[in-house]
Structure 1
Amino acid sequence: MTYTKRTVSAALPGKKYLAVLFTAALSLGSTLLKAQSPASYVNPFIGASTSTKDAGTYHGLGKTFPGATTPYGMVQVSPNTITGGDNGSGYSHEQTSIEGFAMTQMSGIGWYGDLGNFLVIPTAGKLYTIAGKMDGSVKGYRSNYDKKTEKASAGYYSALLTDYNIKAEMTAAPHSGMLRFTFPQQKDSRIQIDLARRVGGTSTLQYVKVVNANTIEGWMKCTPDGGGWGNGDGKADYTVYFYAEFSKPLKDFGVWTADIPDDWKRKLDEVASDKYLERVAQSTILKGVKEKQGKHLGFYTEFNTKANEQVLLKTGISFVSIAGAKNNLNTEIKDWNFDGVHQKAVALWNNALAKASVQGGTTEEKTVFYTALYHTMIDPRIVSDVDGHYMGGDGKVHQTTSFQKRTIFSGWDVFRSQMPLQTIINPALVNDMVNSLVTLADEKKKDYLERWELLNAYSGCMIGNPAVSVIADAYAKGIRNFNVPEAYRLSVGSVEKFGNGDKGFTGGDLSLSYTLEYAYTDWCVGQLAKNLGKTADFKKYNQRGEAYKNVFDPEKGWYRPKDDNGQWKAWPDSAKTKQWYGTIESNPYQQGWFVPQDVAGMAKMMGGKDKTIADLNNFFEKAPDNMMWNDFYNHANEPVHHVPFLYNRLGAPWLTQKWTREICRRAYHNSVEGLVGNEDVGQMSAWYVLAASGLHPVCPGDTRQEITSPVFNKVVLRLDPKYAKGKTFTITAFNNSASNMYIQSAKLNGKAYNKCYLDYKDIAAGGSLELTMGDKPNEGWGI
């Protein structure tokens, strides 16, 4: 492999730093545990369902995973109940059997999903080489499990596999994970690992080697030919390297290998077919083989167990090399102390979750808040090894000494709430993400930024130029520890390659969504240009930011898609609420509010503030009480997430206060169905964290933060001294309750304050915002 070096400024945390971090986290964790710790409120089952039946739409529910992980960790040790379909997390709570426990998972996504690699399952009896089918029609190593025994918390998961009477427990460190299996007394106990398994398809080539009496190592190559992200259309192409140690010596072990013909297609439909399953079920079992490469491999080890004997497996993961996986494991998990690893994971979570703490509210509201905060800390995850090495977009190994290399940038979702939240409580992560995207473009020799990045893939998923929004927002807020000239060049390249251009609109089936979102990110480039003193560019892109006007039809009084020649497309009777009419995953009524860069201009075009407010009221009032997927305010999907805060911009802030409280109450619950739509890599949860705290932006790239009604009596946001002057920013709501949702008056740092917004610099400076609440609107405050 070719190695290159990348350096910008600060030093990357190394082994000594990690040890200090663990010690500090344990110390903080012990202090917090004297009270009820933040991590103790986390319920990883919130949103852990892909059920389309319960959601009432093909998008399903939250699609989170319940397994063990650490803040932004590379490893997620989690149960997998399903391989295929639009089930990106690999798990759905209503399903009653488990295929196994994988070391990598995605969170809250659709589009077939990916990862779910290194699938481990403890078994007994006959050796099966396939998972089998959920309905039992095809037998395999899959096991039913007792839902009553299933437990999940921050850094831990367990369940009883009833087919084998084996208790499975798992915990995690940032780059490694540990499984503990409690076996009954029997002579044919087994641990087996399906090396081919992948959530959205299959890995296409695997390698395994027995290193010594307790250790195996190897890799799984995952290419688009094997499906995965977007069933291959997401272009995910990565290799997972592993180094795994067993607590019980390898004496009776082997490999299974399936003979997959060269001309067989290997995407999801094919690998889930009866023909393919039959071929894998007929795998050749090679006892005692110590090294093997093949297209569909698995590894097993068999042993006798006494009653309640515990056998452990610990695994390091790397996307760089086997040596990297070994180093990751040896750095983080040096012994077989499962409970100690678990305690460290909990301490890491308590340390991370302490960045936003709340007082007041109900137990359910605290559970929802801290679990939401937890879900915002899954991605963008670390993808560099403990020594700083990472696999670049050029297929070469690089080493970063200036930032943590991160992956899984769900741009179209997270630019709205997730990344703005991180600019407050974790600005270093935002800096990492910008660096990761900018250096990736350089490694792949692209002149634009990726919309939805997964393990170096330029997937092109969704629309717009969300990375441009993140960069503009970061720069405006003083988060600038990246190559600014290169970030600006790539931002310009993005909007020129994907944009409305001088034509002023984008035609076609998604005309409205494209035109409106491109107009916004053109405006973002204009803001960057303005901040960088590029006057001509500012004028050019700021003017392009007004392109939203070009798809508004005054005759219809709303937005209307155009064809490529600029002619209006046919107007159906239900045009305003017709799903996919000129829009993506929405309708014109939902997408039409997306003019965050010019709310005043939008309202003028819509007939003035009063008419716009009346239309907004209709939009919210027609949403169902449960806030599930619908044609009006559809909180289940991202295009409307800024809309409740538009009232602040229109001179009716009490309505922002009313509706954000309603959404927090109706769309978020402490239950498996507690997220009304896909979690979308932190976005759905970040919206709650911000809104429940009393703040949320309308327009990332603009430093204005809208004030709304906090759910809690007190919220403390801890700031990063490397990026902010203050230590904390505290929002206190006096006389706060479910009925007292309206702001009567406010004080900022002890002085009367009559604006319904703050500037980001007010937050970064530290201090306090005090709100006095009441049960009736004060229509004179904040105007």
Structure 2
Amino acid sequence: MALPGKKCFTVLLTMALSAGTLLVKAQSYASYVNPLIGASSNEVAAGAYHGLGKTFPGATTPYGMVQVSPNTITGGDNGSGYSYEHTSIEGFAMTQMSGIGWYGDLGNFLVMPTAGKLKTIAGKADGSVDGYRSKYDKKSEKASAGYYSVLLTDNNIKAEMTATQRSGILRFTFQQNAQSRIQIDLARRVGGTSTLQYVKVVDDYTIQGYMKCTPDGGGWGNGDGQADYTVYFYAQFSKPLKDYGVWSADIPADWSRKLDDVASAKYQDKIAGAEIMQGIKEKQGKHLGFYTQFATHHNEQVLLKTGISFVSIAGAKSNLNAEIKDWNFDSIHQKAVASWNKALSKISVEGGSKEQNTVFYTALYHTMIDPRIISDVDGKYPGGDGVAHQTTSFNKRTIFSGWDVFRSQMPLQTIINPSLVNDMVNSLVTLAGEKKKDYLERWELMNAYSGCMIGNPAVSVITDAYAKGIRNFDVSKAYALSVGSVEKFGNGDKGFTGGSLSISYTLEYAYTDWCVGQLAKWLGKTADADKYTKRGQAYRNIFDAEKGWFRPKDDNGNWQAWPDSARTKQWYGTIESNPYQQGWFVPQDVKGMIEVMGGKDKVIADLSNLFEKTPKNMTWNDYYNHANEPVHHVPFLFNRAGAPWLTQEWSRAICSRAYFNAVEGLVGNEDVGQMSAWYVLAASGIHPVCPGDTRQEITSPVFNKVVMRLDPKYAKGTAFTITAANNSAANVYIQSAKLNGKTYNKCYLDYKDIAAGGTLELTMGDKPNKSWGVE
């Protein structure tokens, strides 16, 4: 072919350089992610038993079914199965939860490379009980988006892992040894144990089977969470199965199998003495493990790839065959990184330090772990009725941490991933039908109606979705279930909820009653609209004018005793909070709340007191407790009270004081994306007070420019951009604003302004402009 002329060559070179620049930029998002942020449950550093972020550092893909991650502990309040301060690793599991307590769950199919004598028990971290767990070189630990590696020092074995949506692959680099091994603990489960396992050797390279996880084996809420699921697996080894077998512990039928039972010396002795059955091809039992042994030379790599399914072994096989067709570990890793770059490109930022970019993109990454997909490649998913269902209209999703995520996580997704919100609503609505329930679950895990925490958060998510035009679900069923939820769990005609958590219950129920009132109004159900809107005023029934604050009532409507320091007394009428923190939760009627509290000046002074008494490190405390969800909307109340400069000041302060590029970089539990979603929104310059109301509060962005890319199936625009001229650590106050080139004096946007696309231009300064944005 003819060579291009000089002019043509210059154009081609310019295009190539531009493409290269774009490519580097496109590939940069994942490079900022540090999955070790928040990967600790250190109670001392947290200042409370709740611990810190409780994230996991392992490999996953956006909203993937599989998370291949190191596990350092099976029980306690370590729901992710990992904590950075631990010095040894039990193994690498295929499923994990992010940022939760309540005993945790998943952590299934625990794989461990070992050498020497076979041990059938993990052992204890303090070394008092020997087992297959190994110490590891902390300096060797590497975690990035879609990849994790570490050197296990007991036998100098390097472990690497990456993932696809429904499968994972591990690569182990062994030293020279006549008795190297890969062993898989099939019984292992975070927070308890699998209660029944099955394994079969299919051919010289393949095993398949399942692990049943039922409430009597502990797990979520130590069984009280009612998690009942089966993990099916189809796994292949790169090295042939020649010397292999199963170990089986004979667990007596009358033994209880909750977490404390499983962790007891009696139970552990039984596991340590498990029968080792060499060469057995098929086994079902109550506590099984599988191993394959082989000789290795120096730096020999042996790989294991596994597909999982919550439907069937056939589903696990199909998932693996579709997603990992060969043994090219590096190619799978590159695809995982590419999937993260695509997902994280939903928001691009400019300006800010390297640390701020790392904190931002890691936060965005943490919002993209759940709600995870649990449907197989063919669309089959496990139904709430215990049978397989087929879906083509939506992706079946699970892990809905309702009480947490309705505040920031789901509102964030309505902007950047509206189809995900639609999936979640469909998943909850169809689940109720499958379980023949007339109400929505609060905190769903693998189809379990766990009833965890309070309120009716699914009603909030449905209302917010509908308000924003996200309606690709059965609206009539969603509405009926919303009504059923607030009728079953609500203040009712009584107008309050009494008891030990009276304040929290009454306020949260009043909010979701209002949500149903909104839905009813939009759907033309006038009587229901009136009924539930009035119930949304129930917050007034527990406000004691004499005390000037919300006060719990008993079931008969009498005020409960008012102790000294009542507003800051933890658990006084509230859950995981105190009245000072919970009392601000009247998002549906902030104007009315301000009136009963004594007016704007008094509210501004009281809010300022709340923040000024907060410790600098923002760990667990009695004032603005960012470590827990009830206060997450509170910084934005200054906008509603007529002092938007204080929203700007305090949201920026929280971004800098509560989020860091460090293992202890989250002041509280990640809570399945909520803690991070708050940062993503606030650092971008917007955050809602009331999901279900399309108003979005404007605050001070951390970055000079933020571009949110919109979904054309749900939004008219392609992107919404926020710029901040003269932005800096000192210049946190908005001086003026323009929306699409026109002067803009409101301290809020409507969701439709964002969905339409366009640009919000802010000019920043180091002193408050007390005339901008004041209502």
Q: Normalized against structure 1, the TM-score is what? A: 0.96
Q: What SS does structure 2 have at the residue aligned with 1:187?
A: strand
- Looking at structure 2, the residues matched to 711 and 210 of structure 1 have their Cα atoms a distance apart, in angstroms, of 55
Per the TM alignment, residue 33 of structure 1 is displaced from its structure 2 partner at its CA by 3.2
Distance in 2, Cα, partners of 1:470 & 1:164: 49
Question: What secondary structure is seen at the aligned counterpart in 2 of 1:573?
Answer: coil
Asked whether 1:51 is paired with 2:23, we answer: no
Give the corresponding residue for 1:606: 597
Name the counterpart of 1:315.
306
CA RMSD of the aligned region, Å?
Answer: 0.9
Query: Could you tell me how far apart the structure 1 residues matched to 2:707 and 2:739 are?
Result: 14
Quick one: which of 567, 576, 587 aligns to 2:567?
Answer: 576
Aligned to 2:7: none
- 1:130-209 aligned at under 5 Å gives the runs 130-209=121-200
Correspondent of 1:444 among 417, 421, 435: 435
Give the Cα separation in 1 of the matches to 2:594 and 2:604.
9
1:623 is the counterpart of 2:590: no
- d(CA) in 1 for partners of 2:136, 2:21: 33
User: Does residue 659 of structure 2 align to residue 655 of structure 1?
Assistant: no
Matches within 5 A, 1:365-444: 365-444=356-435
Deviation at 1:38, TM superposition (A): 0.4
Q: 4+ runs of 1 displaced by more than 6 Å? A: none
Asked if 2 retains the 8 angstrom alpha-carbon contact of 1:37 and 1:350, the reply is: yes
What secondary structure sits across from 2:722 in the alignment?
strand
- Does residue 232 in structure 1 map to residue 223 in structure 2? yes
TM superposition shift of 1:756: 0.3
Alignment-derived partner of residue 469 in structure 1: 460
3-state SS of paired residue (1:178): strand
Which whole-Å deviations, capped at 9, do the CAs of 1:360-389 have from their partners, x for residues lacking one? 000000000000000000000000001100
Amino acid at match of 2:316: A
Supply the distance in 2 between the matched residues of 1:588 and 1:542 (Cα, whole angstroms): 24
Counterpart pick for 1:284 among 275, 281, 285: 275
Match of 1:70 in 2: 61
Partner of 2:695: 704
* 1:670 match: secondary structure: coil
Structure 2 residue corresponding to 1:94, chosen from 66, 82, 85 = 85
> Per the alignment, in what secondary structure is the counterpart of residue 37 of structure 1?
helix
State the distance in 1 between where 2:549 and 2:397 align.
Answer: 40
Does the Cα contact within 8 Å between 2:181 and 2:292 map onto a contact in 1?
Answer: yes
Query: Residue type of the partner of 1:657?
Result: Q
How far residue 574 of structure 1 moved from its aligned partner, in angstroms, is: 1.4
CA–CA separation in structure 2 for the residues paired with 1:209 and 1:52: 42
Query: Retained in 1: the 8 A contact 2:50–2:669?
Result: yes
Counterpart mapping for 1:628-647 below 5 A: 628-647=619-638
Q: CA deviation at 1:35?
A: 6.6
Kindly report which structure 2 residues correspond to 1:258-297, keeping only aligned pairs within 5 A, or say none: 258-297=249-288
Which residue pairs with 2:213 in the alignment? 222
Give the conservation status (yes or no) of the 8 Å contact 1:29–1:351. Answer: no
Alignment partner of 2:96 out of 105, 108, 114: 105
Q: Distance in 2 between matches of 1:213 and 1:304?
A: 16
CA deviations 1:269-296 (Å, max 9, x no partner) are: 0000110000010000000000000000
Q: Paired residue for 1:544?
A: 535
User: In 1, are the aligned partners of 2:27 and 2:338 still within 8 Å (CA)?
Assistant: no
Shift of 1:29: 11
Q: Is the 8 A contact 1:67 1:155 kept in 2?
A: yes
Q: Please list the CA deviations of residues 96-140 of structure 1 after superposition, one character each: whole Å capped at 9, or x if unmatched.
A: 100000000000000000000000000001100010001000000
Structure 1 residues 45 and 30: alpha-carbon distance in aligned structure 2, compared to 1, 3 A threshold: farther
Assess if the C-alpha contact under 8 Å between 2:26 and 2:345 holds in 1: no
Distance in 1 of aligned mates of 2:25 and 2:242: 46
- What 5-or-longer segments of structure 1 have no aligned partner? 1-27
| TM-score with structure 2 setting the length | 0.97
Once the two structures are superposed, residues 333-363 of structure 1 have per-residue CA deviations (whole angstroms, 9 ceiling, x without a partner) of 0000000000000000000000011000000
- 1:32 Cα deviation (Å)? 3.5
Mapping 1:723-742, distance limit 5 Å: 723-742=714-733
Q: Which residue is 2:354 aligned to?
A: 363
Match of 2:738 in 1: 747
* C-alpha separation in 2, matches of 1:706 and 1:186: 62
What's the counterpart of residue 330 of structure 1? Answer: 321
Check 1:34–1:685 CA distance in 2 against 1; reply closer, same or farther (3 A cut): closer
1:529 to 1:212, Cα distance in 2 relative to 1, 3 A: same
C-alpha deviations, 1:142-162, integer Å up to 9, x for none?
000000000000000000000
Partner Cα distance (1:214, 1:190) in 2: 14
For the residues of structure 2 that align with 1:370 and 1:35, how far apart are their CA atoms?
A: 13
AA partner of residue 359 (structure 2) = V
Aligned mates of 1:597, 1:339 — CA distance in 2: 51
Instruction: Write the distance in 2 (CA, Å) between the matches of 1:121 and 1:193.
Output: 6
- 1:51: how far off? 1.1
Matched, 1:767 2:758: yes
The CA deviation at 1:618 is 0.1
Residue 63 of structure 1, CA deviation: 0.2
2:26·2:341 contact (CA, 8 Å) conserved in 1?
Answer: no
In the TM superposition, what whole-angstrom CA distance separates every residue of 1:436-479 from its partner, at most 9, and x where no partner exists? 00000000000000000000000000000000000000000000
Contact 1:44 1:65 in 2 (8 A): yes
Q: Distance in 2 between matches of 1:56 and 1:261?
A: 41
Q: Distance in 1 between matches of 2:27 and 2:382?
A: 40
Contact 1:29 1:350 in 2 (8 A): no
Report the alpha carbon displacement of residue 53 of structure 1 after superposing the two structures with TM. 1.4
Q: Distance in 2 between matches of 1:392 and 1:452?
A: 16
Alpha-carbon distance in structure 2 between the residues aligned to 1:34 and 1:648? 35
**Letter of the structure 1 residue corresponding to residue 216 of structure 2:** D
What does residue 514 of structure 2 align with? 523
Q: CA deviation at 1:164?
A: 1.0
Q: Which residue of 2 aligns with 1:585?
A: 576
Task: Please give the alpha-carbon distance, in whole angstroms, between the structure 2 residues aligned to 1:29 and 1:639.
Answer: 45
**Could you say which residue in structure 2 is the equivalent of 1:758?**
749
Task: Report what 1:565 is aligned to.
Answer: 556
